[in-house]
Amino acid sequence: MTDIAVIIVGLNASPYLKACLESLGHSEWRHWTHEVIYVDNGSTDDTLAMMAANFPTVRVLANATNLGFCKASNLGAAMARSRYYFFLNDDTVLRKDSIGLLAEALENIPEVGVIASRLVFPDLTEQYSGRRFPSIANGILGRRSFLTRIFPNSRPVSDYLYKQQLNNHDPFPAEWVSAAAMMVSKETFEMVGGFAEDYYYWHEAVICDRVRRKGKQVYLHPRSIIIHHEGKGSGARPYATRKWHILDFHRAAYRCYCEHYGLKWFSLRRWFAALALTIRAASLLAGTWVVTRTGMQISR
């Protein structure tokens, strides 16, 4: 048995995956032994050929169709022979010490069940990969909302995104973290049943919530920094694909919100959340349609 299984799920992102695996090869593993597993979700580009030519030691599972991140990740975990699982997006680039820092913290902080890296964009600006659970305030002052851009340092925004804690060096507790670079022990992962396969979006919040309910903590490590080309790991997104993503994001946000707060069907908070998320989704769909149509006309 090795120490760490790096589990990557990918779809039609051959150049990004190649860069990711190259950075993985340059990592400083210290005393940690490791294995690398790649689960392909039905790529139609040259991903599988690229893998065979450049990374023959990586164990590959090639699915015929897109099974989604959660099911594919669970399949990758089932193949693993390691104590720790490190789930990594295919559109990431690691620093040399990114993985070692996570494993060290997971090993030395007894209450930690999940720990994640600090994700940044290629220009090194923050992605805020650790957040608090959704609330009414977060729905208005979310990571990408218009008001957040106007008031980036307001108390609700700073608290929601853990801005103050990111200025420190030590790992800190977070309510949920991104699965784009998430490490979890085999024991903890199996204890909560792995990733929830009935989710596409919000699966990170769901698994972190379930881990915390089992008495373990979720942490983010500010010094484990990984560049994340967010949204580049699944190929191009025409309007029909963007529409599905918007709808699924909001449906999953509603389900996650209700599960976290234990809201019954007759709860007023439940119905208010449903109305607010419906309005938000409709607004985004309208804006996306206008942008898509405008782009099509310009391209003609």
Positions of E strands within 42-189: 59-63, 82-89, 92-94, 112-120, 130-131, 172-173, 176-177, 181-185
Are 243 and 285 contacting, i.e. CB atoms less than 8 angstroms apart?
Answer: yes
230, 222, 243, 105: which is closest to 180 by C-alpha?
Answer: 230
Phi, psi of 62 (to 5 degrees): -100, 105
The angle subtended at Cα 130 by Cα 126 and Cα 134, nearest 5°, is 115
Gyration radius of the chain's alpha carbons: 19
Q: Which residues of the chain have pLDDT under 50?
A: 296-300
64, 20, 16: which is closest to 40 by C-alpha?
Answer: 64
What H or E segment, with its residue span, contains residue 105?
Answer: helix 98-108
73 burial via Cβ count (<10 Å: 0-12, 13-18, 19+)? buried
114, 279, 70, 140: which is closest to 209 by C-alpha?
Answer: 114
Residues 6+ apart with CB under 8 A from 254: 273, 274, 277
- Dist CA 200 CA 252 (whole Å): 8
Are 182 and 73 contacting, i.e. CB atoms less than 8 angstroms apart?
Answer: no
Are 160 and 138 contacting, i.e. CB atoms less than 8 angstroms apart?
Answer: yes
pLDDT at 232: 64
The angle subtended at Cα 152 by Cα 116 and Cα 283, nearest 5°, is 90
pLDDT at 234: 53
Whole-structure pTM value: 0.85
- Dist CA 148 CA 139 (whole Å): 11
pLDDT at 256: 75
pLDDT at 267: 86
- Dist CA 140 CA 268 (whole Å): 18
Are 100 and 34 contacting, i.e. CB atoms less than 8 angstroms apart?
Answer: no
Quickly count: other Cβ atoms within 10 Å of residue 100's Cβ: 18
- Dist CA 75 CA 143 (whole Å): 31
